[in-house]
Amino acid sequence: MAIVGIEWIIIIVLIVIFLIWGPSKIPELARAFGKAKKEFQKAVKEAEEIKEEAISTIDVQELKKDVDMLMEVAKKLGVPTEGRTKAEIYNDVMAKLGKSA
């Protein structure tokens, strides 16, 4: 089996690492990379937990009421709503009311 493409790059990188830091530093580097990976995974897990907690605290009924109220106000002000995002509608409503969005 011949070594081609990416395998050569990996071999060269490993040789350069070995030459720069020597055999005694490689285990330290591996431990440092392992710790960094563990901390990264911990941070990702915490971020997911925070996201799930935030999602679970959203009151869907209140949100629906707010959207319904926005649509009602937009219609009363003559702001078109068809095919537009809620953010666009909100910005137009605020502009009609003379407030910056």
Instruction: Grade residue 100 by pLDDT with cuts at 50, 70 and 90.
Output: low
Please say if the pLDDT value at position 101 is more than 60.
no
10: amino acid identity, one letter: I
pLDDT at residue number 30 = 84
pLDDT at residue number 24 = 82
pLDDT digit string (tens) for 28-64? 888 998 999 999 999 999 999 998 888 888 777 888 8
pLDDT digit string (tens) for 63-84? 888 889 999 999 999 999 999 9
Quick one: tokens of 59? Answer: 């009151």
In whole angstroms, how far apart are CA 55 and each of 49, 52, 59, 94? Answer: 10, 5, 9, 27
d(CA 81, CA 65): 16
Q: What is the mean pLDDT of residues 8-27?
A: 84
Helix or strand holding residue 85 (H, E):
none
In whole angstroms, how far apart are CA 10 and each of 2, 15, 68, 86? Answer: 14, 9, 58, 50
Instruction: Grade residue 89 by pLDDT with cuts at 50, 70 and 90.
Output: very high
| pTM reported for the whole predicted model | 0.43
Contact of 62 with 70, CB cutoff 8 Å:
no
